[in-house]
Structure 1
């Protein structure tokens, strides 16, 4: 959801999309010795009642619901030595989710956490070190932003990031669909839907990543800790036994005078996970409903994602993502999606004389493996879904938002989501979720 070490190029790209000038080699900017940025986001949601001939323990509730989330984050950084950057992000969260954060593959609010609650909780979100070694070539400017200090960097460089952070700070970084605080809100639009990336219940982990950046190309790989239990808060510190590995290749290009990027990512997770097939066999042999918790053992999950994004004009950009994982074992750290495709467009308001406003619209189609479908149809439940039975259809989501700039650092967004076949069940829904988001960042 936040900025990453790859964002030097992204800042220039976003400036180009907005039609703003960006800094070139000839316009070198002064290197920051320290930085401090702050954000706060409040999201209010409402869900009308939905058609539901039956409701299970992990279903989206059929009655009308209201929900909210609140977060406040500080991003504090300084340079301890040449090429080094140290960051510390304390974060405060509070919220009440729709249906106790159950009943959807693509959850409607990316700010909601699995451990969220009505009482404010303060914790350390990030504490990490980034080290950059320049390899020559041209220079490019990096502007001051969240977890990013202003300065000049070589376009050919090696970057090592290690510590406590989010995997998606570095991997699967989209200019248009990555941050629920300012862009699309649905979980399936924050990252590859099928990317079960290593994270605790708040979305953070400990680990390290290495990036090799050579002009328009970037190759990055990393290993991060898995939660000690499926979707739990404590992390498993045995990072050489249980881990999440990922490898990504990125290429930037110019098409029609506008910037674009292509990403290809592969991931491999190792953890103590339950198999859907084994759970179904266990239930058939011993009675009852299948339960992945009864058949957990050492397992590996693999998956991949491909994405592309492209500026069409200085005000319009489009994007698409496709992802898949093997779907053999339970969701361990992200959400219950095993096949996903999304596409969308983002338009800045220059055409209607509101240059700081943004309109976004996207479509998502999520799916499950056959083993997972059979498990749910037999009454099994997962981390987030389980209606007691299943009339399977892919889950489809349309989301649109309009973001108004209220002041220099404050935006107000209106967001609407229409979700067909919630939790992949054609017997329930569709459901509509409307949201109001107030965001301030300094």
Structure 2
């Protein structure tokens, strides 16, 4: 991050189209536009400030296809519930036992690592580490989307998921590698819904494995010959493993809390998401009914991000990554506190106020702290 004060913005808009091709078969299409100007050219942090800037753009609007996918549902029996119509979800009846196949172009996080209180940068927390697991280096192009398929089995309170997706051809690249049986991102997740003290909650356990051509931090250090190491010089076939635990729990009708903890092996360069290899997040979300603003929402969360020993040694020796690297490193975990308040202006619009305080940005004890204030106008029709 630069030492002087900075300004940043993002604008994004998405259209959601859905069509029922046949009973149980649905087709969805989302064109999208993005325009943004990030702080410090989107460098200097592990937990980036604005998850909408993950979609990468520039000062001119960029139009593209965000999603084009097919969803097939096979109802197998059990209690039936009525599903309301919303974005990328057509109204219909769903049975408690069912199989769902989602195939095509979409974001991995559309299916995996959901959370009612921290999963949407347009309406909830802004920081990338609160969008999903910080250490979840999930398959995606530079806009956060990919191609692939996920199979889900719903059995009353349990859900089992598995998905395979295309990885980018290069680290944080836009072009995807279509050799899905050679280079891929696999993930599996188990989800359980429960009731605790009369309040609903969910617990999710996820593991992932990526296979791609990438550079190892230890290989780069060995090849440096006393100079600054460079992972791009030692790229070869590699695998990355990781896991995450995700919990959400209502404490009362108007208050919910969430917890995420994630880890990846940290042996190779960040490939699709951000430079985090250990992450813990904890937060609360509360609507405003206690102060007679029931449609307002207050959220507060804490983040602790960390790096593997190999990655720390690489940065300390002068190596750099896509987002971080000072030429040296006085390592400390990166700690972030974020709070937001959404004011409901109308049925369709909210005005949000956000503040983030970052300690040891980019894991460097010689930097920070820094404070970032933000505003957000959101409309959906």
Q: What TM-score, normalized by structure 1, do the two folds share?
A: 0.86
Provide the alpha-carbon RMSD of the alignment.
Answer: 0.7
Q: Which of 350, 357, 360 is 2:296 aligned to?
A: 357
User: How many angstroms apart in 2 are the aligned matches of 1:193 and 1:145?
Assistant: 27
User: How many angstroms apart in 2 are the aligned matches of 1:115 and 1:234?
Assistant: 14
Aligned length: 381
Question: Is 1:309 the equivalent of 2:248?
Answer: yes
Question: Is 1:279 the equivalent of 2:220?
Answer: yes
User: How many angstroms apart in 2 are the aligned matches of 1:141 and 1:161?
Assistant: 20
Question: Is 1:397 the equivalent of 2:336?
Answer: yes
Match of 2:25 in 1: 84
User: How many angstroms apart in 1 are the aligned matches of 2:83 and 2:48?
Assistant: 33
Match of 1:382 in 2: 321
SS in 2 for 1:312: strand
Residue 115 of structure 1 deviates from its aligned partner by 3.1
User: How many angstroms apart in 2 are the aligned matches of 1:303 and 1:151?
Assistant: 35
User: How many angstroms apart in 2 are the aligned matches of 1:315 and 1:302?
Assistant: 37
Match of 2:353 in 1: 414
User: How many angstroms apart in 2 are the aligned matches of 1:190 and 1:260?
Assistant: 19
Kindly provide the CA deviation profile for residues 343-369 of structure 1, in whole angstroms up to 9, marking residues without a partner as x. 000000000000000000000000000
Give 5+ residue unaligned stretches, structure 2: none
Give 5+ residue unaligned stretches, structure 1: 1-59
SS in 1 for 2:21: coil
Match of 1:209 in 2: 150
Residue 257 of structure 1 deviates from its aligned partner by 1.2
Match of 1:134 in 2: 75
Residue 151 of structure 1 deviates from its aligned partner by 1.4
User: How many angstroms apart in 2 are the aligned matches of 1:114 and 1:90?
Assistant: 13
Structure with higher strand content: 2
For residues 39-58 of structure 1, what are the structure 2 equivalents within 5 Å?
none
The runs of 4+ residues in structure 1 deviating greater than 3 Å are: none
Match of 1:179 in 2: 120
User: How many angstroms apart in 2 are the aligned matches of 1:232 and 1:366?
Assistant: 23
Match of 1:244 in 2: 185
Residue 143 of structure 1 deviates from its aligned partner by 1.1
Match of 1:65 in 2: 6
SS in 1 for 2:330: coil
Residue 113 of structure 1 deviates from its aligned partner by 2.9
Match of 1:367 in 2: 306
User: How many angstroms apart in 1 are the aligned matches of 2:169 and 2:372?
Assistant: 33
Q: What TM-score, normalized by structure 2, do the two folds share?
A: 0.99
